[in-house]
Amino acid sequence: MKITAAQTARLEFLSRVTLKECRHLLDTDGRLFSNPFTTDIAQTIEADPILAERLDAFVSRFGRLQDTVGDKLLPALLAALAEEVGPAIDNLDKAEKFGFVVSADGWMEMRRLRNQMVHVYIEDLTVLSNALSSGHEFVPALVAAARRCVAEVQRLLSP
């Protein structure tokens, strides 16, 4: 399998971005969840701009890392491995087969959770608290999957 110069450049760029996004998500996750995120804490969001910004940063960084890995890095990696790139669920099934993600279904659950965090938090603080706590629990799996993809890119591109 021959990887083109354009594929190499794209994979290197996406790997750098992915690792940076992992660091940013872990930093924000550590600050937002230094204490358990409860409904009582969620009730203070409007009065606490720092908390509101941390919450927005967490949701944004969680979603961004998921998008970068699932929608960009994974398809580019599969193409470099001479795998047919298809719809997201098919790519995730292949990623699970290769061991890049533990579970395609788990990844899709993270995706649903991300959408829940983005769209419902203004209306229902209990749903927000539960979604954020679940998102926090998914962070290690998301970061580990991202790092496995980057490690595979590095393996592929090493001489």
Say if residue 157's pLDDT is above 60. yes
Q: What does the radius of gyration of the chain's CA atoms come to, in whole angstroms?
A: 17
Whole-number pLDDT of residue 121: 56
* CA-wise closest residue to 145 among 79, 83, 69: 69
Domain residue spans of the chain: 5-157
Q: For 79-105, how does the pLDDT look when each residue is reduced to its tens digit (9 = 90+)? A: 999 999 999 999 999 999 999 999 999
Averaged pLDDT for residues 140-156: 97
- DSSP class of residue 115? H
pLDDT tens digit string along 130-143?
889 999 999 999 99
Q: What is the reported pLDDT for 102?
A: 94
Nearest to 73 by CA among 16, 114, 28, 113: 16
- Give the residue-averaged pLDDT of 24-51: 93
